[in-house]
Amino acid sequence: MSRSSRRILLAFPGVPWMATWDSERSSTALLESVRGKGLRWFNEGPADRDKHGGLWARKTERIGQGKPQYAGVHPRRQRLAMELLLCHVCSGNSSVTVDGALWMEPIRPGEPLMPYTTHPPVCVPCAVESRERCKRIRRTGAHTVRVANPRPWGVIGMRYEPGANGVLAPKEPVEVAYDDRNIRWVLANQMIAYLDGVTRAMWGDLTQASKTSDASSKLLDDHAEGGALQLMRYGLRNAKKAKRVVKGTPRPHPEVVSVKGGTVVIRDCVDGTDWLNYKLNGEPEDDNPGSHFKADATVKRSDGAWRVSRLYMHESGSC
């Protein structure tokens, strides 16, 4: 890796670091294909591929020269921000606490957070400033969340196909996962990260509804559907009959087991030691201490949103 490819250019004041400038140029003149193996650069270096094997588009870096293009995303700067958890607005470190890195997704309040995103994290000052300055966020609002376990999932890029004469032709922009073999024909422009956010959001909804054992809570279908939704409603109806409510906060620790297309399988060991049963008069229902329990969840995309569709909660003490 040459010295220049390791250098990180700092952001220009007032312009998001990740945005492109009209003086920055892309070129695919040196892109070639190896039969059956996919794309490569004629003079490929280690910086051209990420550690998952994705091949990256090349673009010169001219921050501060010409006009900023706010809607454009510079491939290398977006990738660096994702890989190093840099703030994509100011190029400094993003805010990271024990709860994870700070993420801000422009989206209306009440809409579930998408677990897949091409927006890298932010720092606290930039998150505050973006809320005031960014037109899109002012219009739609934003989810601000801590993400304990962001991980690279795949890329957005251009799919190429070798023609009959051996000349590579760009075909279509695609989103492709790192574990998809077709990624070898894709020149990456942006990294897609998977955010462990959806199951946490579902547990948040369930915690709220459990405080009053409200099976008809409008919150429940925000992040759950199908079997998972039925299970939560069934549990809440039973609690209502037993004149029981649940107070405190369950602490999920989701781990992604597999990601395939629009389905994510998650295994969780939920810490329920601070999520206890109470009688309606506020007294603890019994002197059982709370415990950890295993939970399996399947998260699926439907109507453009991600929801937990299958949920299985194992018995107390199962993990």
The number of beta carbons lying within 10 Å of the beta carbon of residue 44 is 14
For residues 25 and 73, the answer to whether their CB atoms sit within 8 Å is no
Tell me: does residue 87 bind Zn ion (CB under 5 A): yes
How remote is the C-alpha of 41 from its chain's centroid?
Answer: 29
Question: Residues 55, 57, 63, 90: which binds Zn ion (CB under 5 A)?
Answer: 90
**Minimum distance, C-beta of residue 261 to Zn ion, in the bound complex (Å):** 33
And the tokens for 156? 């957005």
Tell me: does residue 126 bind Zn ion (CB under 5 A): yes
For residues 157 and 177, the answer to whether their CB atoms sit within 8 Å is no
Instruction: Between 90 and 177, name the residue whose CB sits nearer to Zn ion.
Output: 90
The alpha helices in the chain, defined as continuous H runs, are 3-6, 75-84, 124-133, 135-140, 198-210, 226-241
Query: CB-side exposure of 115: number of CA atoms within 13 Å?
Result: 32
How many residues sit in the footprint of Zn ion (CB under 5 A)? 5
For residues 292 and 318, the answer to whether their CB atoms sit within 8 Å is yes
Tell me: does residue 134 bind Zn ion (CB under 5 A): no
Instruction: Between 78 and 217, name the residue whose CB sits nearer to Zn ion.
Output: 78
Tell me: does residue 123 bind Zn ion (CB under 5 A): yes
Q: Which residues, in sequence order, are bridge partners of residue 144?
A: 104
Tell me: does residue 264 bind Zn ion (CB under 5 A): no
**Minimum distance, C-beta of residue 177 to Zn ion, in the bound complex (Å):** 29
What is the Cα–Cα distance from 157 to 56, expressed in whole angstroms? 8
**Minimum distance, C-beta of residue 126 to Zn ion, in the bound complex (Å):** 3
Tell me: does residue 198 bind Zn ion (CB under 5 A): no
Instruction: Between 133 and 218, name the residue whose CB sits nearer to Zn ion.
Output: 133
Instruction: Between 125 and 262, name the residue whose CB sits nearer to Zn ion.
Output: 125
Tell me: does residue 102 bind Zn ion (CB under 5 A): no
Tell me: does residue 89 bind Zn ion (CB under 5 A): yes
Length of the chain: 319
Q: Applying CB under 5 A, which part among 89-97, 136-144, 197-205, 245-253 lies near Zn ion?
A: 89-97
Tell me: does residue 19 bind Zn ion (CB under 5 A): no
For tokens 């491939």, what's the residue? 75
What is the Cα–Cα distance from 97 to 268, expressed in whole angstroms? 21
Q: Which residues bind Zn ion (CB under 5 A)?
A: 87, 89-90, 123, 126
